[in-house]
Each structure stands twice: as C-alpha cells, then as structure tokens.
Structure 1
Amino acid sequence: MNDSVPTASNHHPKILLVDDDQTFCQVLARAFRRRDLDVRVAHSAEQGEDILNQFQPDLAVIDLKMSGASGLTLIPHLLNSNPKVRILVLTGYASIATAVEAIRLGATNYLCKPADAEQILAALFSQPEIPHEVPVPEKPISLERLEYEHIQRILLENEGNISETARQLNMHRRTLQRKLGKNPVKA
C-alpha cells in the first residue's frame, strides 16, 4: 500500500469517487482497491450525496463538470459527513476561478485531468501552494485565456446558469455555449 495513505490498525481508508466518466471510474476504483482503499463510486453529484447517507469517506475525488449539478455542490455535504475529509476536485476544464472556488468551499486540492491514481493520491495529501507574492510573468496571459477566465468566473457566480451568464456578458447564449464547449485556452 502507498505510504502516503493514512491507516489505522484495522481501518482501510474510505474514498468516494464521483465522476460521470464510467470507464475512468472503473480504472481508478480498481487502482485504489489495489492500494487497500475502500472505494465507492458515483456518476453524479446527486448519487454522491445519496452514498453519503451510509458511507462517510476519509477521501473524496470529485469531477468538477458533470451532467447535472457541478461537483462543487457536493463539497459541503462531504464536509458535513466528515469534517476531516480530504477532497480533491479533478477537472478537464481548469480555470483560476473554479480552483479558487473549490478551495474556498473546502477542497484540499485541485488537479487537472488527465491524472492517474498516484497523482491523485499525491494531490490529496499535499497542500495547495499559495505564494505570498505572485511573481509577474515574463509573458503576459493571452487575451483568449483572459476571456476564458472571465467567462468561468461569471459562470461560477451564476451557479452554472448559462442564460444568466450570457446576459451578464452581453453575449448570445449560443455563442457562450460554443465558447464553453471548446477546450480551455492555454495561458
């Protein structure tokens, strides 16, 4: 078993994996079980919430963007279930706004996909680095990335409501959906 996973003498750490990608969940759950973790899998935030009625995890890996509610909505429920739970938000749609929001809500860390079991466990047991001074980058952020970050922040403020976000951005709803459907722009 991985040395970074805490255990009591007769306790296998419990982990909740919430992701709508069923193949990813199967592969990751198998890898976690090989590391002696007690794994439960859900494919939506709502299913994850239901599992918490009978399973209080020590660790949780939550996908940010799923069909239905965002994985962020599950964080308060996890913390109510176990205030010491270590939560990792995993996403293929990384943005500064969602990372800050995840940590603010109580997530332990935030990681971009693709990630394997070792990377996920390492991120669960490390603290996110928050520098005291943010260095000025030599190459400024691109205009496309700045637009992407702004859209993500407004979308987050509107709790994922695309229509309201489009109104606030003075943008046609379909244009916004097209921009959201693209992969994140590199900095």
Structure 2
Amino acid sequence: MAEDYQIGPDPSLLLVDDDEIFLNRLARAMEKRGFAVTRAASVAEARAAVAEHAPAHAVVDLRLEDGNGLDVVDALREAREDTRIVVLTGYGAIATAVAAVKMGATDYLSKPADADDVTRALLARGDTLPPPPETPMSADRVRWEHIQRVYEQCDRNVSETARRLHMHRRTLQRILAKRSPR
C-alpha cells in the first residue's frame, strides 16, 4: 500500500508523542511509506527539532507530558507555513479539534489511528476529506480502548477509574474482566 502515496519533493516528517512504543511503531511504518522521520517525545524536543529543520509534515499528540501539543503546532506554523499537520489525541472532543484546526492543523484524528489513516490525512489535498478507513474500529472497541487508557492512567485503580468515567465500580470490573471487542 505504501506505493499508493505521493509524498512530494520534501518527505520530512516530525512525529511527536510521549508514548514511546506508539512513537516507534508509527515511525517505522511512516519510514516504510517513504517519509524521512524525526521523533520527539516532548514539547521541548519538538521545538528543538523544528528550530533545527522545519518539516513538511508533522503528526503531533495533543497531550504531552511537558505540555500541550498545540504549542508544537504553533511553533511549526511560525517556522514553516506550508507544513501539513495532523493532531492525534486519545480524547476526541469537538473543542480541541476546533482549536487544533484554528491553530493550523490540517486534520485531527483520534487514537488509536494506524499509519494508513495518518498517511491519508497528511497527504489529502484541497477540500476533499481522506477516505474513511478500510476497517474502522467498532464503537464497542473504541469504548473499550478509552476505558483501558483511563484505567492505566489511574494506575490500574478500579475505584478511581470508575469515579472518573462516572461508572459504577462493579460495572467497570465486569468490563475489565472481559476480552477486548473486535
């Protein structure tokens, strides 16, 4: 599928995410598609990378340990106006999507997004939206992924996770005991 993409004359791509496993996996996949990838795990690293060489493409996580990914979007826009920027987030909300686009992001994707989704969003041109994913996650799977993420962020504390998700603790325990939906 990598040969279907037309990257253009400048294949530089900055990936910014504090999830090291996701960052490395996405970097390898994007390199296979022909991008010249630079990785950054924080706002500070991303700003340094942008100062050294402003990329033609960027994929930026919205929430980073040392700040907000929108700060990186702003730095990218200041350094190079034509950078195609995709903002990724585990918390898809209309308000953050609007903020990201107003600051100059080209597209906004909810995690988990695969390399094909990211590539389509980066390379879409004009007013046309990229095509929908071939095999999108089911609504049950998206819900399960969100619950798992909050559970991990709460240090696997069921009571705290249930409180933050506004769920009954026993209901959450039943969901956590099941396998992931497809």
TM bucket (normalised to shorter chain) is 0.5 to 0.7
Structure number with higher helix proportion: 2
Please give the alpha-carbon distance, in whole angstroms, between the structure 2 residues aligned to 1:21 and 1:111.
Answer: 16
- In the superposition, the TM-score normalised over structure 1's length comes to 0.65
The Cα offsets for residues 108-128 of structure 1, whole Å up to 9 and x where unpaired, read as 000001111110011123357
SS of structure 2 residue aligned to 1:48:
helix
Please give the alpha-carbon distance, in whole angstroms, between the structure 2 residues aligned to 1:94 and 1:18.
Answer: 17
* 4+ long deviations beyond 4 Å: 177-183
Alpha-carbon spacing, 1:84–1:67, altered in 2? closer, same or farther (3 Å):
same
Q: Percent identity?
A: 38
Alpha-carbon spacing, 1:182–1:4, altered in 2? closer, same or farther (3 Å):
farther
Superposition pairs of residues 1-187 of structure 1, within 5 angstroms: 1-8=2-9, 11=10, 13-126=11-124, 127=127, 182=165
| Structure 2 residues without counterparts, runs of 5 or longer | 130-159, 167-182
Please give the alpha-carbon distance, in whole angstroms, between the structure 1 residues aligned to 2:165 and 2:106.
Answer: 27
Please give the alpha-carbon distance, in whole angstroms, between the structure 1 residues aligned to 2:162 and 2:111.
Answer: 19
Do the aligned partners of 1:108 and 1:128 also contact (CA within 8 Å) in 2? Answer: no
The Cα offsets for residues 71-118 of structure 1, whole Å up to 9 and x where unpaired, read as 011112101221100000000011000000000000000000111111
Please give the alpha-carbon distance, in whole angstroms, between the structure 2 residues aligned to 1:181 and 1:72.
Answer: 25
Please give the alpha-carbon distance, in whole angstroms, between the structure 1 residues aligned to 2:18 and 2:128.
Answer: 25
Alpha-carbon spacing, 1:113–1:27, altered in 2? closer, same or farther (3 Å):
same
Alpha-carbon spacing, 1:2–1:71, altered in 2? closer, same or farther (3 Å):
farther
Alpha-carbon spacing, 1:178–1:72, altered in 2? closer, same or farther (3 Å):
farther
Alpha-carbon spacing, 1:81–1:5, altered in 2? closer, same or farther (3 Å):
farther
| Structure 1 residues without counterparts, runs of 5 or longer | 130-176
Shift of 1:37: 0.9
Do the aligned partners of 2:7 and 2:34 also contact (CA within 8 Å) in 1? Answer: no
Count of residue pairs the alignment pairs up: 133
Do the aligned partners of 2:13 and 2:36 also contact (CA within 8 Å) in 1? Answer: yes
